[in-house]
Structure 1
Amino acid sequence: MASDFIPYNRPYVTGKEQAYIEEALRNHHLSGDGPFTRRCHQWIEQRTGCAKALLTHSCTSALDLAAILLDLKSGDEVIMPSFTFVSTANAFVLRGAVPVFVDIREDTLNLDERQIEAAITSRTRAIAPVHYAGVSCEMDKIVAIARRHNLRIVEDAAQGILASYRDTPLGAIGDIGSFSFHETKNIMSGEGGCLLVNDPELAQRAEIIREKGTDRGRFFRGEVDKYTWQDLGSSLLPSDLTAAFLWAQLEDAERITRERLAIWNRYHDMLAPLEQRGLLRRPIIPGHCRHNGHLYFILLPPGIDRSMVLGKLKDQGVHSVFHYVPLHSSPAGMRFGRAHGDLSLTTSLSERVIRLPMWIGLHEKQQMRVVEALGAILGR
């Protein structure tokens, strides 16, 4: 790879990860729920205010756990955007539930809260808002809808750590939330995730499900004299080696977020002239949402060949990507779920998104190269 090639992502390491992994080795506790896992749980609980944080192998695993926790049955329905990663839907499909795909907003690309109520049926059990790019959905309205219809809320805040909605941390607004610590995320451990339980009545059962359906956690805390099979469950604990790596990241989470926001803001300023010329649209952040600089995307004007743009960027040493292929248009989407409405914005916007290189260490000259390349390509 050429030295001047600008990758889409470069995982950031604080420098303390190896020392903490070595400390975990000296602790002689390498399996789940060791000292580093407890530190991570405490940090997340204190920063979000959730009743219980539980590290998992991935955000996918956290959503799987949430679906079990909600006691979803075959034919139950969960409302969600089609513009999301497949894990949002898979977790519920695995329990026999039906994803009901609702269109997104044009400004934030988040679930359009104005269309949720019309999608509710007698089978609806939950709403799964996805906070795209670390920018919150309109949670006041979603919470109000859920309360009117006695529905649960499962927040997919995979991209949302240290972002907030009206000063409430993402992941801590609904009944249940989830984070991702995949290497593409702001705070990462290679692979990893976390379930945030905000309803205290669900906390003990969540712990049991995560620990293979046993009350092993209570046993190790001395609350029972033996542990036994209590409920449905699976092995969803990451090792304490993974938690040790994550702890190094969490300790520096505020600084990491500040640095990503600085890079995000530079892109935003640099791209303003291209937006003024009508060559692209920049992200829109509502004033009551505090984002975390997770990703920077642009929207191409309708009719522009995105593959051509991505190819020409690559030719100039810039690796940019797109996502998502809408779930309702995928082979499995209509086999397992159904669409509410025509999802025209989801289809249109998903075909116009380009995600720009975004990682700590990306310097101003590199960002200018990205912006100049975009301007030259789109200006033709």
Structure 2
Amino acid sequence: MTTRTRSTFAPPVPEARRWLDGVTLPDDMPLINVSQAAPVEPPPPAMRAAMAEALHATQTHLYGPVLGLPALREELAAQWSAHYGGTATPDQVAITSGCNQAFAATITALCTEGDEVILPTPWYFNHKMWLDMSGVSAVALPTGDDLIPDAGAAQALITSKTRAIVLVTPNNPGGVEYPADTLAAFFALARAQGIKLIIDETYRDFDSRTAPPHTLLSDPVWDDTLIQLYSFSKAYRLTGHRVGAIIANARLLDEVEKFLDTVAICAPQLGQIAALWGLQNLSGWLADERREILDRRAAIYEAMPMIADKGWRLMGCGAYFAYLEHPFAESSATLAPKLVREIGVLALPGTMFAPMDDPAGHRQFRVAFANVDRVGIAALFTRLATLDWPLASPDPAA
């Protein structure tokens, strides 16, 4: 008998950390860790001061409303409406214990065992893991060399069991920013097929575009089709406080409430208070954070010539991620632990973001650069350029 947890794979980030066991790097080659997309710095001092003050309030230490603090739901609805040029109301907002829980709650509210959900590949591994553990089939939608999914290709995968299509933009793991026309095409497809379009916008605050990434919220009945997911973790360095959000139809959130009440009762109060304070006070600080991430993105492009002439290819780059295709004969799953031992780089192989039988994943690596500055990025590419592993045979069809 296979249990729900045994139906899926081991969590990739803890697995990758085990590659460090027994490895001693020389002093002149410190570890460059590009394995995880989580800020390692604490929230800014002003936010920490506000959090410290909140610790004196009794309510901070008690259960809160299952769907989140009313003030936070109201503020996020207002800012979401302004950003996307549409209308979201507080009853269309639920606050969750992180964006992973937002996804889990949404899928639980939408799907039952045997249903199907379409995921573009490379996919975010925790999305695949939750579908596995829910008894829901993840239907892979290959994206090709540009990592942009195609609505026409998705249409061919829709069956009577399909309940939703999931998109992540800016993308994890690929870094690409989906064009507004792409999102509009998927929205139209989902509406025509009577299924949901789930857009995970965890990294929206680091999108390089100044205009809103889409105008879907301006549709007067957007909530018959669209579900948006968000995380405060990346924007305000609140990863340990677990605060995420769902923006969706209020009736769907009635179902989500059942899941949240059963699993966690409510998102942590202190994290919600911090998220609200951040929304109201840190727009300038967040703009500076975005500029820094965009500069690191630029540094990736500037460093690419060091390895491009050795056969590497940059498939996507944006927000926290660069997605690279390597030129070597061995699988990225085999090469990833060797990167640690030989050049002191911890990165995740593409096999962690793709079906087991997908050959593309074996040629790819994800680089999470949010915690690596320009100097670190230059060092990373300098080390990658030293690799002299056996190369893959040329593709005769190329």
In the superposition, the TM-score normalised over structure 2's length comes to 0.69
Displacement of 1:273: 4.7
Identify the residue that residue 216 of structure 1 maps to in structure 2. Answer: none
2:164, 2:70 → 1: CA distance? 30
Instruction: Classify 1:164/1:374 alpha carbon distance in 2 versus 1 (closer, same or farther; 3 Å).
Output: closer
Residues 127 and 152, structure 1, Cα contact 8 Å, conserved in 2: yes
Given residue 280 of structure 1, which amino acid in structure 2 is its aligned partner? W
Identify the residue that residue 288 of structure 1 maps to in structure 2. Answer: none
Cα deviation digits, residues 283-332 of structure 1 (max 9, x gap): 346xxxxx5x2122322126355344652455434333334525642xxx
Residues 184 and 214, structure 2, Cα contact 8 Å, conserved in 1: no
Question: Partner of 1:81: helix, strand, or coil?
Answer: strand
Cα deviation digits, residues 232-289 of structure 1 (max 9, x gap): x5435221222345457652332222211111111111213532x152111346xxxx
Identify the residue that residue 367 of structure 2 maps to in structure 1. Answer: 356
Identify the residue that residue 253 of structure 1 maps to in structure 2. Answer: 286
**What does 1:91-170 correspond to in 2, within 5 Å?**
91-92=130-131, 96-108=135-147, 110-131=148-169, 132-133=171-172, 134-137=175-178, 138-163=182-207, 167-168=212-213
Residues 142 and 149, structure 2, Cα contact 8 Å, conserved in 1: yes
**What does 1:222-233 correspond to in 2, within 5 Å?**
none
Question: Partner of 1:100: helix, strand, or coil?
Answer: strand
More helix by share: 2
Aligned length: 330
Unaligned stretches of 5+ in structure 2?
A: 1-24, 82-87, 391-398
Residues 53 and 194, structure 1, Cα contact 8 Å, conserved in 2: no
Identify the residue that residue 123 of structure 2 maps to in structure 1. Answer: 84
Given residue 297 of structure 1, which amino acid in structure 2 is its aligned partner? Y
Judge which range, 257-266 or 166-175, deviates more.
166-175
1:90, 1:259 → 2: CA distance? 32
**The one of 246, 249, 264 aligned to 1:199:** 249
Question: Partner of 1:26: helix, strand, or coil?
Answer: coil
Identify the residue that residue 20 of structure 1 maps to in structure 2. Answer: 50
Identify the residue that residue 238 of structure 2 maps to in structure 1. Answer: 189
2:216, 2:338 → 1: CA distance? 36
Instruction: Classify 1:27/1:318 alpha carbon distance in 2 versus 1 (closer, same or farther; 3 Å).
Output: same
Counting aligned pairs with the same residue, the percent is 16
Instruction: Say what the alpha-carbon RMSD is for the aligned residues.
Output: 3.6
Residues 279 and 378, structure 1, Cα contact 8 Å, conserved in 2: no
Unaligned stretches of 5+ in structure 1?
A: 213-232, 286-290, 330-342
Cα deviation digits, residues 18-70 of structure 1 (max 9, x gap): 32321221222224548x95565445334433443322113221112212433
2:124, 2:247 → 1: CA distance? 21
Residues 61 and 193, structure 1, Cα contact 8 Å, conserved in 2: no
In the superposition, the TM-score normalised over structure 1's length comes to 0.72
